[in-house]
Amino acid sequence: MRVLKTVAAMQLACKEIRAVTRSLGFVPTMGALHEGHLSLVRRARAECDSVVASIFVNPLQFGPTEDFDQYPRTFEADCAVLEGEGVEILFAPSVGEMYPSGAVTTVTVAGVGDRLDGASRPGHFTGVATVVAKLLHVVSADRAYFGKKDAAQLAVLRTMVRDLNFPVELVGCGIVRDGDGLALSSRNRYLSAVDRGRALVLRRVLLDMMWRISGGTWASDALYAAGLEILASEPHVRLDYLAIVDADTLLPVKEAKPGTLVAIAAYVGTTRLIDNFVVGSGDEL
Ligand code: AMP
């Protein structure tokens, strides 16, 4: 696996790959890789002739009081894992390479980008959209792979790709969970053993709402009430949002229906975790 650190080198290498293969898949990450990330790489490998990945902890998507400095960085181990998964090139630029002094252009997805995580973390999705736009230009992949765990992110990026005519297909990949059902996240490693147990309430909330929906309760108000009651059983977990929304626009719906996104974000201690399912999609919790 080649590790490239400059935009120019990565752009050239991807151009060379595209000249000799039919399809190029791209998996962008912030590193601290786990099985969730690897599921994206494996899907890309199964669907594309060549696969490239990136590791870049993007300062633009972290708020001033968020965990940019503490974000786990496990570069050597990540390289070994990606190489083992058959990734051809890893793009690992510095912050200065991605945002040279004088860079002033950003991508803001109005509306969608201000909802869910975009409401709780102002500027977050402008940071995400900007870095993904840049990465898609550098790599010019046929397909780019993203996790459905970040459902709001996927909605924002699909909107950006549609509106700005990016010639790429975004592929959403299912959430990979630990044995007890907790969605894998690079941030799970911040959790103490006690908080790790408390974090399971996110899944219990969603599971309860999923059961109620399959039992015929469609009204969002009733579903919210049921979810909040489950959440109250774990007073150490502080809710950020519980949302029943259209999966594309992220606007609230009065009644859930197939395709509706049910999403939760909550703080366990100081760690913010997210999880979700899409009604009727076969998503497992
Ligand atoms: P991150 O490194 O957190 O920016 O994540 C990189 C990509 O991996 C994003 O598209 C995430 O949605 C995806 N991802 C993270 N956790 C999971 C998971 N548990 N299951 C599936 N995809 C995931």
Domain that holds residue 146: 2-173
Is 181 part of a structural domain of the chain?
Answer: no
Instruction: Please tell me if the CB atom of residue 40 comes closer than 6 angstroms to any atom of ligand 1.
Output: yes
Within a domain: residue 158? yes
Indicate if ligand 1 lies below 6 Å from the C-beta of 175.
yes
pLDDT band at 236; cut points 50, 70, 90? very high
- Give residue 13's pLDDT: 98
Confidence band of 98 (pLDDT split at 50, 70, 90): very high
Residue type for position 224? Y
What percentage of the chain exceeds 90 in pLDDT? 100
| Residue 13 and residue 112 share a domain | yes
State residue 215's pLDDT score.
97
Please report the pLDDT score of residue 169 as a whole number.
98
Which residues are known to be catalytic? 37
Q: Would you state the pLDDT for residue 226?
A: 98
Q: How far is the CA of 164 from the centre of ligand 1 (A)?
A: 23
Mean pLDDT of 207-235: 98
Q: What is the pLDDT of residue 238?
A: 98
Q: Name which residue sits closest to atom 17 of ligand 1, judged by CA.
A: 36
Ligand 1 geometric centre to CA of 16 (Å): 28
Q: Which long-range contacts (CB under 8 A, 24 or more apart) does 197-202 make?
A: 198/234, 198/236, 198/237, 198/268, 199/237, 199/268, 199/271, 199/273, 201/230, 201/231, 201/233, 201/234, 201/237, 201/266, 202/237, 202/264, 202/266, 202/273, 202/274, 202/275
- Based on the fold, state whether residues 11 and 95 are members of the same structural domain: yes
What does the pLDDT read at residue 124? 98
Instruction: Note whether residue 151 is domain-resident.
Output: yes
Q: How many domains does the chain have?
A: 2
